Amino acid sequence: MAIRIFITGGTFDKEYNELNGELFFKDTHLPEMLKLGRSRVPVDIRTLMMIDSLQMTDTDRELIARHCNETEAEKIVITHGTDTMVDSAKKLAELVKGKTIVLTGAMIPYKFGSSDGLFNLGSALAFVQTLPVGVYVAMNGRWFNWDNVWKNKKTGEFEEAR
């Protein structure tokens, strides 16, 4: 069965508005990225929202959880801003059972050339195919259980909680 990919926004999908110098969201770049990676993994992509994760509310998180529960897919990748990725992972662990859910994101927008997004997407798709049921964060080439991860704001890297 195809892997479900839910798009929620985050740095991953931000673009540069050359008229005012600000970052904004237009469309997701996931299909373009999967094509670049020559991915042949069967996926269904659906955009749930396009927001900065600092703007994400509990209502948004419940919406994501509902979509995870309603899809027939048992393996789900969620693209998400890194700032509150851990909060969403916790919420999903609480509300969704019996599925393998992997959240991933990027520190640099895909469109900026020097992005970590393609690397992260490759690893997230691999982790979701191989990890058992549970909710995980996939960043920096590693995977973390939802209850054992935090983002180090000084380095921008994800680490085990202590």
Q: Does 162 bind a second copy (CB under 8 A)?
A: no
Span of 58-66, 67-75, 86-94, 109-117 interacting with a second copy by CB under 8 A: 109-117
Beta pairing partners, 79: 7, 104
Q: Does 39 bind a second copy (CB under 8 A)?
A: yes
Q: Is 136 helix (H, G, I), strand (E, B) or coil?
A: strand
- Spell out the residues 6+ positions from residue 82 whose beta carbon is closer than 8 angstroms to its own: 10, 11, 53, 105, 106, 107, 139, 151, 156, 158
Q: Does 2 bind a second copy (CB under 8 A)?
A: no
Candidates 85, 125, 135, 149; binder of a second copy (CB under 8 A) is 125
- Residues of this chain, 54-83, that bind a second copy according to CB under 8 A: none
* Least distance to a second copy, CB of residue 14, Å: 8
Q: Does 47 bind a second copy (CB under 8 A)?
A: no
* Least distance to a second copy, CB of residue 73, Å: 16
Q: How far apart are CA 96 and CA 118, in angstroms?
A: 27
Q: How far apart are CA 85 and CA 110, in angstroms?
A: 18
Q: Does 156 bind a second copy (CB under 8 A)?
A: yes
Q: How far apart are CA 80 and CA 53, in angstroms?
A: 7
Is residue 103 within 8 A of residue 138, CB to CB? The reply is: yes
Q: How far apart are CA 117 and CA 105, in angstroms?
A: 7
Candidates 141, 147, 148, 161; binder of a second copy (CB under 8 A) is 141
Interface residues with a second copy (CB under 8 A) are 11, 14, 16, 18-19, 21, 23, 33-34, 36-41, 52, 107-109, 111-116, 118-127, 129-131, 138-143, 153-154, 156-158
